Amino acid sequence: MPLLEWSDSLSIHVHDVDAQHKGLVDMANRLHDGMMREESKAFLQDILAEMAQYAVEHFGTEERYMDAHGYPDSAAHKAEHQDFVVKVQAIAADCSSGRCALSMDILNYLCGWLVTHISDTDKALGAYLNGRGVR
């Protein structure tokens, strides 16, 4: 059973962004599944590094939408993105250097941040973009 399940309640109704959110949910589930199967540390670190890189790409997509449509809350939204990227990159670096073990606390942080960010911050962006005809 997946840790996170995509549902329409997470959709912001912007196709590109929703597709990328589904990708992040999938990565979180792959990380969880790997932890439950007690996969190798390298396997788990690869997924975490992939998630960090994908988040940077995904945030770039959202930020291009913000800039193109004059989103008024873009500074705060971008700051949330930057904080998350810094945190995930620090986790990935710590784990790859042997200074941490991937744990449920780390996974819960990643998943909790993702769901909260989509449900609150990205929903507001989606409503703004939808009002400008972006789907």
Is residue 67 assigned to a domain? yes
Is residue 5 assigned to a domain? no
- Alpha-carbon span 17 to 23, nearest angstrom: 10
Is residue 114 assigned to a domain? yes
Stated pTM of the model: 0.91
What is the domain extent for residue 17?
Answer: 11-130
pLDDT in tens, 64-115: 999 999 999 999 999 999 999 888 888 878 877 777 667 788 888 889 999 9
- Alpha-carbon span 26 to 65, nearest angstrom: 23
Is residue 2 assigned to a domain? no
Is residue 1 assigned to a domain? no
Is residue 4 assigned to a domain? no
Q: CATH no. for residue 27?
A: 1.20.120.50
pLDDT in tens, 5-17: 999 999 999 999 9
- Alpha-carbon span 44 to 47, nearest angstrom: 5
The domain total for the chain is 1
Is residue 135 assigned to a domain? no
